[in-house]
Amino acid sequence: MSPATTPADGTAADGSAAAGTAGAVAAERQIALPEDRYAAELEFLAGYDTGPRPPGWRLTPRAVVTFVLGSGGEKLKHGRRSLAVETKFVGERALVERCVVTLAGERGLLLVGEPGTAKSMLSELLAAAVCGTSALTVQGTAGTTEDQLKYGWNYALLLAKGPSREALVPSPVLTAMTTGAVARVEEVTRCLPEVQDALVSLLSERRIAVPELAGGEDGQLHARPGFTLIATANLRDKGVSEMSAALKRRFNFETVGPIGDLGAEVELVRRQSMAAVARAGAPYGVDDTVLEALVTAFRDLRTGRSAEGWDVERPSTVMSTAEAVSVATALGVTAAYLDGGDILGRLPGQLVGVVRKDDPADTARLLGYWDGPVRRRAEQGAATWRTLWDLRPALEG
């Protein structure tokens, strides 16, 4: 579910220069778009797998899956070049393959799940691999309008020349339609129902009518082959603006869940927090012992059960992997810029900050976790957990 670190000079994993100036452009941004950050991989995979491609696709479906999940450490060879494609999303291969098949069939894809499970990142990676851009995006909010999903007008040109294609300002979705690309709608259930309804005809008829241009071919803007749409929705927002049955039928639903394996989650948190601390211009000083304790605590509180099978009262806050990355990043910055010698000692305070986001009463649940699994592990002789148990008073401060 996460991008690994990419050198600031834009070189690929094998040391080769990124395609064109994409590396230099990416280095100037706080967060680079995947099509820029992984330009060398995308270029390589386009030549590596020359099999059949759906209309408008930059890569084959098989190469898209490889781009998202990586090559498992294996160096792929194409001519004189070889490259190991890094893992970007940690999840089931079957899930990614179903997503790719949905897009290949030009059907809408809806990624649902708890906050922080990398739905947005997966949609970005898929869009970048399929059509070369992940930037054709609409952020869904209560203030999103139908114009933002269809089109608006350049009013200066509209007043000067009247309705014309020149005066029309396409939305990201309309741009994707007319270029055969992938559009993305983030948090679709946060859009008002009447705005969501605009997607129904768009996904079924594959065209947008422009009444102001009626009477000619310009009055109907048609989707080109390759156009499709990826939307995301948080399960926590299910009741904000429930999707209509008609809109649901236009999508294939895929649930993106938390990472199942502890080791994989620890590695992901390490990579992402290292990259974030590197962007802050600092060395990384969080050791694996602290990271494992951090991720273990998050997993216990997230699932309501420890790895040993002990019951844990779950806080109302979503203890997501993305939140764990934020905590690990904060610890890394602390170690680099403040008196961060005792990084483990700062972990309880960081956990309190996460747990209390939604409900201050969740502090009591965190104390219950300390009095349960943390204490038991300390009594069993685990040095890290003994230290954390001794830090219990920090939770009550």
241 and 98, same structural domain?
Answer: yes
- Tens digit of pLDDT for each residue in 50-101? 999 999 999 999 999 999 999 999 999 999 999 999 999 999 999 999 999 9
- Tens digit of pLDDT for each residue in 8-35? 333 343 444 444 455 555 556 778 899 9
Instruction: Classify burial at 331, counting beta carbons within 10 Å of its beta carbon; exposed 0-12, middle 13-18, buried 19 or more.
Output: buried
Q: What total number of domains does the chain contain?
A: 3
86 and 202, same structural domain?
Answer: no
> Long-range contacts for 6-15 (Cβ within 8 Å, ≥24 apart)?
6/32, 6/37, 6/38, 6/275, 8/278, 10/39, 11/40, 12/40, 12/41, 12/44, 12/83, 13/40, 13/41, 13/83, 13/84, 13/85, 13/86, 14/75, 14/81, 14/82, 14/83, 14/84
249 and 105, same structural domain?
Answer: yes
320 and 171, same structural domain?
Answer: no
> Would you say residue 131 has pLDDT above 80?
yes
Domain boundary pick from 231, 257, 283: 257
43 and 8, same structural domain?
Answer: yes
State the chain's mean pLDDT as an integer: 89
287 and 153, same structural domain?
Answer: no
> Would you say residue 390 has pLDDT above 50?
yes
- Tens digit of pLDDT for each residue in 147-179? 999 999 999 999 998 888 889 999 999 999 999
- Tens digit of pLDDT for each residue in 269-285? 999 999 999 988 889 99
8 Å CB contact between 182 and 103: yes
266 and 239, same structural domain?
Answer: no
Tokens of 101: 């098949």
Residues 122, 125, 129: CA angle, nearest 5 degrees? 140
**pLDDT at res. 242:** 85
Task: Give the residue numbers spanning the domain of 368.
Answer: 262-396
pTM of the model: 0.87
> Would you say residue 109 has pLDDT above 90?
yes
245 and 168, same structural domain?
Answer: yes
Helix (H) or strand (E) holding 330: helix 321-337
172 and 101, same structural domain?
Answer: yes
Q: What gap in Å lies between CA 41 and CA 56, rounded to an integer? A: 19
**pLDDT at res. 31:** 82
114 to 232, 236, 357: CA distances (angstroms): 11, 6, 16
250 and 129, same structural domain?
Answer: yes
151 and 64, same structural domain?
Answer: no
Q: What gap in Å lies between CA 324 and CA 297, rounded to an integer? A: 10
**pLDDT at res. 27:** 55
Sequence-distant (6+) residues with CB within 8 A of 178 are 170, 221, 222, 223, 224
